[in-house]
Each structure stands twice: as structure tokens, then as C-alpha cells.
Amino acid sequence: MSEIINHAFLFDATRCIDCRACMVACSVENNIPMNKTRIWVAGIGIKGEFPKLESASMVYHCMHCAEPDCLSACPVGAYTKRSDGPVLYDPDKCIGCRYCMNACPFGVPHFDYDKGLIEGAFIDKCTMCPQRIDVGLAPACVATCPTDALEFGERADLIAKAHARIQAHPERYIDHVYGEIENGGTSYLILSHVPFTELGLPEIGSIPVKEVSETVMGYTIPFALGWSAVLSAVAAGVHLYNQKNEKRSSAEEKLEDSK
Amino acid sequence: MTSTLSRRDFLKMGAAGAAAVAIGTMLPPKVAQAARQAGLINAEGDGTITSMCEMCVWRCGLIARIKDGRVVKLEGNPEHPHSKGKLCPRGQSGLMNTYDPDRVLTPLIRVGKRGEGLFRKASWDEALDLVASKMQAIKDQYGPEAMVFSSTHNLSQPLFENLLYAFGSPNYGTQRSLCFNAMITAFLLTYGIEEPSRNYDNVEYILMVGRNLMEAISTSETSELSHAIDRGAKLVYLDPRYTKTASKATEWIPIRPGTDSAFLLAMINVIVSNELADCDFVRKYMVGCDDIQEEMSRYSPAWAEQITGVPAATIERIAREYAAAQHNALAHPGWRTSNFINSFQTERAIATLNALSGNVLRPGGCLSAEIEAEGAGLGAPSQPPYPRLSALRLDGTPWKYPLVPLKLGVFQELRDAIVSGEPYQAHGWFISRQNPIQSLPDRTKTLEAFAKMDFIVTVDIIMNDTAWYSDVVLPEASYLERYDPLLPVGDKAYIRQPVIEPQGEAKSALWIYKQLGERLGLGDYFQYEDEEDYIRQQLVPLGVSLEDIKAKGYADMPEKDEEQEITFNTASGKIEVYSETLKNAGFSPWPTWEEPPMPASNEFYLLTGKVAQHTQFGTQNNQLLHKYSDEPKLWMNPKAAADLGLSSGNWVEISSPVGKAHIILLVTEAIRPDCVYMTPGYGHLSKGLKTAFGVGASDSALHVTYTDPISGGQALTQTFVTVKKA
């Protein structure tokens, strides 16, 4: 293990040139099939009218949340959050239910519809390259980034670095480090010159979605018991009503027949 | 086209092949033996080996991760000045060039008609004997000049040149006139330097004229530019297209194509008429001080506004800002500068702006002498002098193009002379690592030239279009499978070495040229046992062993004497903004305005350019790059598209005076309404490229051939096209 306590990425959209070296590096490092990817590019493309144009792109992959919703939603414990950052996924435990896909506010986990349940590999997402960080290397995407748009290190240091960068160039950046508090804090931190929503990031509070969902889910049993009584009563009522109708219609039929 | 074949599948296939070889020989293969002896890989064949990238000409240092005798990952070498630990998308994808399922892995001899793609496998002996006998027959019947040799800039080129000049042919085709002739010729004539290197350490103000460094990536320089912008340096970027570089610029100026030199001359006008230049530097080192003010007086910003469409006030402000940054200003020399006949003048104006800012060849200045001198300071096998060349060069250098350096040449003119048979007919063509069918303008004419040939042989790693139309294809080992001559950079010499065994029957260029040389009776020009022996001879003056440089990746070169006095390798020894050489050759001695032709009202300028995922015409079949690059489309401004009733996704037909192409339209604000843009390198003819075939269209099929009489550069953007719904 490296000396870093809590690994994180810092992405600076002002530096990204959308060259996709990160995507190729990830593909090779993690032996990703030719029709799959763990990194994709989001952003505004080219906005405005010639010649007043603006552009921004973002390298998108797993945010490695401190409180991962995928982990919370997984019914079989296929997800784990390592104390030093990475959110990992175990294909041997996965049953392919895709709850994690619905749970992730960032839309990161992808289901492999080509393989599906039969071949046994279901969900794919960025792992933070544990095979590299455990020997002190940066993840493949970060290591090769020609403009240092991607950086890697201790989360607290990167947060301080990001704020220092905003302070040095307030005219350049939106005054916020995305991921510092979002969803309870993520290990992917983002600096941008355009609104974060334009980079494809959700507007999301500091309370992790899973905390809300787990609180709500805590009421499930009493709530369900209460509801079941109500629903049973309603169902019984409906049943009686239907029976009454059926009797009536059969009586009418008889009447018709006798005519 | 999306392939469903995974890389894992390729690895499995290749591993099976490797296992078969190992059982057959019982001894570990040569690369593994050497790497094991050097302690680079363990008994299982796992480890790392240092080498150099060849996905473009920047030549980054790389570290290859090897597992079970296969390369599984490439990393940038932190100790190499061109990579500094990074690789671009092409560098990262390099192993897919090597493991391309379309690799040519045995010598091939054509059995069908040219272009039909029917070949049979042959042994090296049979193929080499055939090539040598055909070359000899052409020499005996028509003279050595009837053989044309062409190759694109690479590390084994000195040995290629040995083959060509020992054979006795003057006809040497390089890609340079399609690329940087204007830049190199202008800087040679002004500074006596081919390509000055750029220093971004202290730069505050950068002027780039179509140098799309954020997409035409040179890893270390792209990184330095990005860091400079990050630090707060200003970037003014001239390009008719909103490239990724434009998106990072402080100011993007979508100037009218072909008018860059008017913009730059007006900048010079503002600087000299207001005496904003570094006077001490200029007086001491520049020829033309006394008259430049007078000479440039006609190029006022108001005059330039009429031509460029850029407001005079903007030009004046940029000139003043540039001058205020003094020697921390940099006017970037550019790279591919084959745009218009007047691109040479654009480059002369850029050279002048750098002289005026005093940034040249001084400590902390932004421009200095070239860093690479190939082969300098290294040993070489001894060899006899070349035979005397008695024939004219078909490309017109120097008898038609007196100022074009011989090593650059005029490739498109060479092709035209093959077609016309003037001043004499060529009969054979030896092509190595080059794809003239895709790279030369006017593809139909290039195919005509091919049809004139009695014999064509191509050395390549895949079946590119040129190989597809050849009579013999010789399979070269990829850059991860072979040695090349050493590359000196600064105070070190770097090695390219095999990180895996060559697959199939593939062989290095050093081996192929030597084999051919010996069969042609020219063995004295190839006095090395094998590739390792060649490098050992190179290392002699350094006192370093092959084993050491293999393990370390580089060897230290003897320190050069730091030159105290600034000198320029020109006739006057100064910076020749006023050039007697140009005057004597009948050209303007001053950087000057030459009006470029303009498209008719229904025509567009056809722009060419780069994407970060591809290098010219050679990487489109790389499955990883194919996976991560956008589908090639024709860019058009919404105003122009509305006028033509076209929208995004339409199939359109582009027509130029020499050809037509069909392609999908992309309507985008990122281009001037009078221009369209195509990414080059697509529209391959070879069905031997299963990933690239059928993708996009070729701009080479549309480009008209125009040659600058001074630099010999091809004018690629001087082609005007019409577009209609297909």
C-alpha cells in the first residue's frame, strides 16, 4: 500500500484538450474489450455562434464516492469501498440486477448487455487502478495525461490545491470544487470554467443520496405493515364489490336468457 | 465500424503463436535472452524495457511493460525530454499497431492485377532476389536514375539514403514538401537554422499561425504550452477553424485562409514604424535594419484589414502587446505549413517577428537552435564514397527549384515527372514507410504514376494503400519489435530496441536494406553484422556498451562547448530579414505580400488538419485509435449549409477540379462560412485494412497540385470545392 490515506483525482476542465489519451490508456491497462469503455467524455461540445465560441470537455468515470450509492443499493454485497478511496466491484457476487445503475446519481455503472447473465460479467466501471496505486503509481489515465488535466494524490491536498488555483485565477474558474461536498464527498474532484451541470454533472446536495434512501428504507417495515392493513381492507372491499357486480351481471344474463 | 473482437482475443492468438516458437527452438528468443541478461525481465518473461515511440516523428521515450513475452502496456518515460512521463493517445495505442490483425507478416509477391489485392506468400530469399534482380535490370537498361526511392522521416533513413545513393539514383522522395518545406526553407534563409526549438519557460505572449498543438500533439511541447497558458501566458491563435487549440487560446482569430502573411506584415509595420522592437539586438544581428521601416510602410493595419477581415485596431493592439512582451514573446514557426503558395512569405514574416522581439538564441529567449542533429557525435560503420550522380533530379531540385534543400525535395513534382516522362522516364519505385497514394495531392494522378512503373516494392508493417498497389511487399518489424539507429537529443543518445520478438517473418529496415545492398553488390555501404553491431559501432566514441544503453535507455554524449557569441549560419552571419540569396534567385529579398487565389462564390476553401488520435495516413487501422476517434465528417458552417439546403448527417458530394468524394456532413459553428474541413488520412483504397477500409473519404482525392517556386511546398488549402447533396 502506498502512503496515501485517501486517494483522489483532481480534474481541471480548463486544461483538458479532449485528446483521449486517458481513454486509450485505461482501455489497455484494464484490458477493456474493443466495444466497451470505462471513461467517456462529456461536456458542452462547441457552444455559441461563429466567431464567439466556447468549449469544454470533461473526462467522466466513477466518482468513487465516500458514501457510494451503488454499494448501498447492491443486494448481494458485490460493491466495497476501500478505506483509501477506490469503490470496487466483484463480478463473482453480482447477480445482474442493475440496482446500482439506478442508484448511482452520476450514471457510472454500465451493464454489459452483450454478455448479460450467461457469461457472468455484468457491470463495469472504473476501479481507480488498484493494481497501480497499490505499488505507488497513479492510475493509467492520470499517468499519461499530456496537459496534467488529471492529477492524483491525497484527497485533502488536492482540495487545497484546487482552492489555491481558484484563488490565483478567480476570473478563470467557477468558485467551487465539485466533489468536495457533493453526495457526501467524492474521490473525483473537479474544477471548471463552465457550470458543472454543463459538464454533465448532476446538481446534488451534500447529503449522500444513500443516506436519504437508507433513512427512508428504515421506515419500510412499519410503513409496509401499516399499508398492508389499509391495502388488505381496500382489496377486500374491491373483492366484495366485484362479487356483487358479478352476481348482478349473472342475474342480468339469466334474465336475458329467459326472455 | 465497431469491432467486437477484444484485445484479449488477440493476446490469446498471439500467445499461442509465441508458445509454438518457444517449443520449436528450445532456447529463449533473442529479445528475451538479452532482456533477461540485463535484468529487465524475469524468468517468466515479465518486466519493463525502455525504448522509443514511433507513432509520430516526435519520438517520445517509452517504457514497455512485458508479460509472458508480450507487450501489455506502454508508459511515457519520465527520463526522456520528449515524453516526460507522458504519452499521447497514439503513443498509448502503439501496441495495437504491433498486434494489428492486419499486419503483413511474410514477404508478399503480387499475383493479380495491381490494386486487386491478390498476393502470394514468399520466402525472404525469393522476395529479396526478385527485388534486387528487378532493380538491377532497371539500372542496366535505363540507368540508376530510373529507380525512384522514397521514404518518410524516420531513424533508419541514413541507411535508406545509403541504398539510394550507393545505387546511384538522385531521385529521392520525402514527405517534406507536403509538410514543412515553407517553414524550413524560410528559417534556413533567415537564420541558417532548419527548425528553431521553442522554449516556453519564460514565455508571456505566444502567436500561433495554424499550429494546432492541442490536436497535432507533440507530447512535451503540448504539455509546455498548456502549462504556459495555465501560468497566464497569452495565446493568440490564427485559424479559420475553431480547433482545440483555439478553444484554449486567449484570442482566436478566424482569419481568411491564405492571408496570414498580410496580418503578420501589418504587425511588423506597427512594430517598426513605432520603433517598438528590441533595437540593440536588431542593430547588432539583423540584416535590413535601415530599410525595414520604409519597406514595411505599405503594410498598414488598415490595408491588412481589407485583406484579412481582421479589424485594423485588433492587428495594431496585438502588435503592440507582442512587442511589449519583448523577448518573452514567441511567434511560433509552425510545422505543416503547406497551405498556400505564399506560405513561405508567412514563414518569413514569422521569422522576422521573432528577430524583432529579440527572443532568438539568447538565454531565456523563446527561440533557439535545433536540438536534434541526427548522428552527430556518434560513430558509424565505414563506407566508400557514393558514386557520382550524373542525372537531373526528377523533382526539379535544384535546377527548377534553386532554393529547395536537396534533403527536402519536391515530392509532388517527382510524381508529375513520372507521369510526364520528362526530362526522362522512371521505371521502378522503392518505397519504405511511406504512403504516397494517400499523402500526395491528386490521388488519381499518383495512381497514374504507379501505372507507369515496371516495378514497385513497398516496405511496411500493414497493407496500406501503397502496399496494396505494389508488386512486392516486404514486412517490416514494428517499432516495438526492432532496433533503429540511435537518436541524439541534447546531451544524450536514446535507443529504440525490440521489446518483443518480431512477429511472423517481419524484419528490421537495417536488415532489409543490408540484404538488398548485398544482393545489388553494394555490401560495402552496409558494414555491420546485424542491428546490434550497427549500434555498437555508433556507441564507440561514447565508450558505452550496448548492454548499458539497453538497460538505461540512453547514453550520455560528450558535453558540447557552450558558444558564447551568437552566430547565424547565413551568408552574412546575421539574421537575414533582407536576403541577398533570395534576391539573387529572382525572388523578393523582403518578406512580402503575395495575393493568393480566392474561391468563386459557390466554392469553399478545402481545409485540412489534424485530430489527436491519428498521425497522417498510417494509424487509421489501429483498433484502439479507431475506437476513440470521432467519425470523420465534412465540417460546414450553418449559414453555408442553410444556403445549400443541407443539414448534419446528410451524405454530400464534394467536387474539386481533380476528383470527387462522398462523406457525411457535420454542420458546426466551428468553421468560417467560406470554408469546409476534412480530416485527412481516411478513405483508404486497400481492402487489406479491415478496420479503416470504408471509413470516411480521402482529401488526397480532391487536392490539386500547386507548388511554391521558392520552397517547393505543396499548397494544400489552395484547392476550392463545391458541395452538394449526394
Of A24, A146, A169, the CB nearest to B628: A24
Measured CA to CA in angstroms, residue B51 lies from A139, B46, B54 at distances of: 22, 16, 10
Inter-chain residue contact A20 with B628, CB threshold 8 Å = yes
Please give the CATH topology (third level) of the domain spanning B108-179+392-494+505-526: Rossmann fold (3.40.50)
Asked if A37 and A113 sit in the same domain, the reply is yes
Lowest mean pLDDT among A59-73, A204-218, B84-98: A204-218
Annotate B576-600 with DSSP letters as a single string.
Answer: ESS-HHHHHTTS-SS----PPP---
- Tell me the shortest Cα–Cα distance from A101 to chain B, in angstroms: 23
3-state secondary structure at position B329: strand
For residues A77 and A139, membership in a common domain is answered with: yes
For the stretch A147-177, what's the b/e string if a residue is b when 16 or more beta carbons lie within 10 angstroms of its beta carbon? bbbbbbbbbeebbebbbebeeeeeeebbebb
- β-pairing, B659-667 with B651-656? antiparallel
Give the closest-approach CA distance of B697 to chain A in angstroms: 22
Please give the sequence-ordered ranges of beta strands (E in DSSP) within chain A, or none if there are none. 7-12, 40-49, 52-60, 79-81, 87-89, 110-111, 123-124, 150-154, 188-191
- Selected for mutation to probe chain B from A14, A20, A47, A166 (highest B CB count within 10 Å) is A20
Minimal C-alpha gap between B659 and chain A (Å)? 30
CB contact under 8 A, A144 and B2: no
B217 CA to chain A: closest CA distance, Å?
9
B85 contacts in A (CB within 8 Å)? 143
User: Which pLDDT score is estimated for B27?
Assistant: 61
Instruction: Measure the CA–CA gap between B632 and B697, rounded to whole angstroms.
Output: 8
- pLDDT band for position A173 (50/70/90)? very high
For B671, nearest residue in chain A (alpha carbons): A50
Question: What is the C-alpha to C-alpha distance for residues A57 and B524, in angstroms, rounded to an integer?
Answer: 57
Query: B12 burial class (0-12, 13-18, 19+ CB within 10 angstroms)?
Result: exposed
User: Looking at the domain assignment, is residue A214 inside a domain?
Assistant: no
Nearest residue of chain B to residue A38 (CA atoms) = B628
Q: Per DSSP, what are the bridge partners of residue A46?
A: A55
Q: φ and ψ at B288, to 5 degrees? A: 115, 5
> For domain B604-725, which CATH number applies: 2.40.40.20, 2.30.30.140, 3.40.50.1970, 2.60.40.10?
2.40.40.20
Q: Which run of H or of E encompasses B67?
A: strand B61-67
- C-alpha to C-alpha distance for A46 and A106, rounded to whole angstroms: 23
Confidence class for position A113, pLDDT limits 50, 70, 90: confident
Distance of CA A41 to the CA centre of its chain: 15
Q: Are residues A176 and A238 in the same domain?
A: no
Residues A78 and A107 in one domain: yes
Give the residue from B378, B426, B407, B388 showing the smallest Cα distance to B534.
B378
Q: What angle do CA B300, B304, B307 make, to 5 degrees?
A: 150
DSSP-assigned beta bridge partners for residue A11: A150, A190
State the residue for C-alpha cell 498543438.
B213
DSSP secondary structure string for all residues of A45-56: EEEEETTEEEEE
Is A34 within 8 Å of B637 when comparing Cβ atoms? no
Separation of alpha carbons B713 and B174, rounded Å: 12
Which set of grid coordinates corresponds to residue B105? 507478416
**Shortest Cα distance from A142 to chain B (angstroms)?**
9
Residues A177 and A236 in one domain: no
CB B472 within 8 A of CB B431: no
Query: E-assigned strands of B597-704?
Result: 604-607, 634-636, 651-656, 659-667, 675-677
Phi-psi domain of A85 (left: phi exceeds 0; alpha: psi -120 through 50; beta: other): left
The enclosing domain of A87 has a CATH number of 3.30.70.20
Q: Hey, how many other C-beta atoms are within 10 angstroms of the C-beta on A225? A: 9
CA A103 to chain centre: 7
Does the beta-carbon distance from B242 to A53 stay under 8 Å? Answer: yes
Q: What is the DSSP string of A154-187?
A: EHHHHHHHHHHHHHH-TTTS-S--BTSSGGG-BS
Nearest-CA distance B254 → chain A (Å):
7
Is A121 within a domain?
yes
Closest CA to B484 of B383, B375, B617, B377: B375
The verdict on a CB contact (< 8 Å) between B215 and A146 is: no
The three three-digit cell numbers of residue B480, written as one number: 516495438
Question: Rounded to a whole number, what is the distance in Å from the CA of B630 to chain A's nearest CA?
Answer: 11
Is there a contact between B215 and A17 if contact means CB atoms under 8 Å apart? Answer: yes
For strands A150-154 and A52-60, give the pairing. unpaired
The shortest CB-CB distance from A144 to any of B6, B76, B668 is to: B76
Task: Kindly indicate whether the domain formed by B190-371 is annotated with CATH number 1.10.1530.10.
Answer: no
How many residues can be counted in chain B? 726
Q: How far is B252 from chain A (nearest CA, A)?
A: 8
Contact criterion met (CB below 8 Å) for B707 and B412: yes
Q: Do domains B108-179+392-494+505-526 and B604-725 have the same CATH topology?
A: no
Q: Which grid coordinates are listed for B43? A: 524468468
Q: CA–CA separation, B313 vs A144, rounded Å?
A: 42
Upper half-sphere CA count for residue A120 (Cβ side, 13 Å): 4
Please say whether the dihedral angle defined by the alpha carbons of residues B48, B49, B55 and B59, taken in this order, is positive or negative: positive
Residue A2 lies in a domain: no
The set of residues, in sequence order, having a beta carbon less than 8 Å from that of B17 and lying 6+ positions away, is: B503
Residues of B in contact with A115 (CB under 8 A): none
- CB < 8 Å to A147, chain B: 222-223, 226-227
Q: How far is CA B271 from CA B143, B350, B352, B511, in A?
A: 55, 13, 11, 55
Chain B residue at shortest CA distance from A54: B247
Contact A24 B232 (CB under 8 A): no
Residues on chain A bordering chain B, Cβ-to-Cβ distance under 8 angstroms: 14-15, 17-21, 23-25, 27-29, 31-35, 37, 46, 48-51, 53-55, 114, 140, 143-148, 169
**B74, B86, B214 member nearest A145 (Cβ):** B86
Smallest CA–CA separation between A150 and chain B, in Å?
12
Same domain, A202 and A241: no
> What is d(CA B133, CA B302) in angstroms, rounded to the nearest whole number?
65
Mutate to test the interface with A, among B53, B92, B633, B667 (most CBs of A within 10 A): B92
What range defines the domain where residue A228 resides? 219-258
With beta carbons less than 8 A apart as the criterion, state whether B597 and B340 touch. no
| Most A CBs within 10 Å, among B99, B212, B214, B230, to test the A interface | B230
B637 in Cβ contact with B669 (< 8 Å):
yes
CA B686/CA B344 separation, integer angstroms: 35
Other C-beta atoms lying within 10 Å of the C-beta of residue B225: 27
Q: CA-CA distances (angstroms) from residue B455 to A129, A147, B148, B162, B384?
A: 52, 47, 10, 20, 28
| Residue A256 pLDDT exceeds 70 | no
Minimal Cβ distance to B89: which of A24, A29, A34: A24
Residues of B in contact with A35 (CB under 8 A): 2-4, 627
Are residues A186 and A75 located together in one domain of the fold? yes
What are the grid coordinates assigned to A66, written together? 465516500
Mutate to test the interface with A, among B5, B212, B226, B622 (most CBs of A within 10 A): B226
Strand partners, A188: A9
Residue A212 counted as domain residue:
no
Residue A24 with chain B: CB contacts under 8 Å: 89, 92-93, 624-625, 628
Residues 6+ away with beta carbon under 8 Å from A147: A15, A16, A17, B222, B223, B226, B227
> How much is the pLDDT for A245?
61
CB contacts, 8 Å: A18 with chain B: 244, 612
Interface touch B88/A49, C-beta < 8 Å = no
CB-nearest to B214 from A17, A148, A169 is A17
**Model ipTM value:** 0.94
Contact yes or no for A145 and B73 at CB 8 A: no
Q: Are B578 and B287 in contact (CB under 8 A)?
A: yes
The three-state secondary structure class of A88 is: strand
User: What pairing do the DSSP bridges indicate for beta strands B492-496 and B484-489?
Assistant: antiparallel
Of A3, A20, A119, nearest to B90 (Cα)? A20
DSSP-derived secondary structure letter, B337: -
How far CA A254 is from CA of A250, A258, B158, in Å, comes to 6, 6, 106
Omega into A109 within 30° of 0, i.e. cis? no
What is residue B370's predicted lDDT score, i.e. its pLDDT? 60
Residue B3: list chain A partners with CB under 8 A: 34-35
Same domain, A161 and A198: yes
Nearest-by-CA chain A residue for B86: A144
Partner-chain residue, chosen from A50, A55, A169, that has the shortest CB–CB distance to B637: A50
Beta bridge partners of B120: B109
Kindly give the parts of chain B with pLDDT less than 50. Answer: 1-25
Domain tally for chain A? 2
Chain B partners within 8 Å of A49 (Cβ): 669
Q: What DSSP element (H or E) covers A246?
A: helix A220-258
How many CB atoms are closer than 10 A to CB B201? 11
- Say if CB B452 and CB B419 are below 8 A apart: yes
User: Is there a contact between B187 and B194 (Cβ–Cβ < 8 Å)?
Assistant: yes
Cell numbers describing residue A254:
339469466
Q: In chain B, which residue's Cα lies nearest the Cα of A47? A: B669
Q: How many CB pairs under 8 A join A and B?
A: 138
CATH class of B7-98: mainly beta
Q: Across the strands, what pairs with B635?
A: B666, B677
**Interface probe, candidates B77, B247, B625, B633, chain A, greatest A C-beta count within 10 A:** B247
CB B717 within 8 A of CB B340: yes
Structural domain contains residue A74: yes
A1 inside domain: no
In this prediction, residues A20-36 reach a mean pLDDT of: 95
Contact B86 A28 (CB under 8 A): no
In this structure, is residue A45 part of a structural domain?
Answer: yes
| Gap from A241 CA to chain B (nearest CA, Å) | 58
Question: A117 vs chain B: nearest CA distance in angstroms?
Answer: 18
Each domain of chain B, given as residue ranges in start order, spans 7-98, 108-179+392-494+505-526, 190-371, 604-725
Q: How distant is the Cα of A3 from the closest Cα of chain B, in angstroms?
A: 22
- Partner-chain contact B86 A144, CB within 8 Å: yes
Contacts within 8 Å (CB) and 24+ apart, B585-588:
B585/B402, B585/B403, B585/B710, B587/B403, B587/B709, B587/B710
| B247/A53 CB distance under 8 A | yes
Average pLDDT, chain A: 88
Instruction: Give A165→chain B minimum CA distance, Å.
Output: 10
- The contacts of residue B574 (CB under 8 Å, 6+ apart) are B285, B286, B287, B568
